[in-house]
Amino acid sequence: MKKIYFLIILCLLVFSLVACEQDENKQINNEEYIYESPYAKSYDFPAQVMNEVYYNYHDVFAGVYLIEGAYHINITEDAPEILIAELHQNSLVTHHIVDHSFAELWTVKEIVTSYIIDKEGFNSIGISEMDNTVNLTLRTDTEIPEFMNHYIEIGILTIDFSDLIATF
């Protein structure tokens, strides 16, 4: 009788270990396709090709926007030819080759924000996907910090001046 109890307990233990291992493998397989980035959000774009560019080619994704109901997607010049060919074939989306990926835009926005957020003269900051730039608005007569000159020269940062006070 003790042998039967021992066999039952052993079978339950083996079954539990196998079930746990399968759950871990399933979780690992699911996580393999998760793209985690500080600038990525969970989108479900209406055109499948936009989802593909955003999730599978995130290193060349540079933004998406609407003009008169038509979707426009930006990709960098590093985009693979297969992606460019797929975008040419899709009538739902117009694509544009731009200089800066969305990751680069986001990084510059975060760098500038961390420096200027508490400074006098700061009005607003945002990313313009259409212009492929980070737009910073300062109050008139505010001096531009010297480190920003590099970003301005390469065209990733534009600065506007305004006397209006931002209300967040």
Domain boundaries, the chain: 1-34, 48-98, 103-162
Model confidence at 89, pLDDT cuts 50, 70, 90, reads confident
Model confidence at 35, pLDDT cuts 50, 70, 90, reads very low
* Mean pLDDT within 89-116: 90
Average per-residue pLDDT in the chain? 79
Burial of residue 61, with CB atoms counted within 10 A of its CB: 0-12 exposed, 13-18 middle, 19 or more buried: buried
Whether 104 has a pLDDT exceeding 80, the answer reads: yes
Report the share of the chain in percent with pLDDT over 90: 29
Q: Which of 34-43, 48-57, 76-85 has the lowest mean pLDDT?
A: 34-43
What letter would DSSP give residue 10? H
Distance, in Å, from the CA atom of 147 to the CA atom of 42, rounded to the nearest integer, reads 33
Cβ neighbours, 10 Å, residue 149 = 11
Q: How high is the pLDDT of residue 12? A: 60
Cα–Cα distances in angstroms (integers) from residue 132 to residues 88, 108, 125, in the given order: 21, 12, 14
Cβ neighbours, 10 Å, residue 15 = 10
Phi, psi dihedrals of residue 152, rounded to the nearest 5°: -70, -45
Let me know if domain 103-162 sits in CATH 3.30.300.
yes
Whose CA is closest to 151, among 136, 166, 168, 129? 136
Q: Which of 2-6, 103-107, 140-144 has the lowest mean pLDDT?
A: 2-6
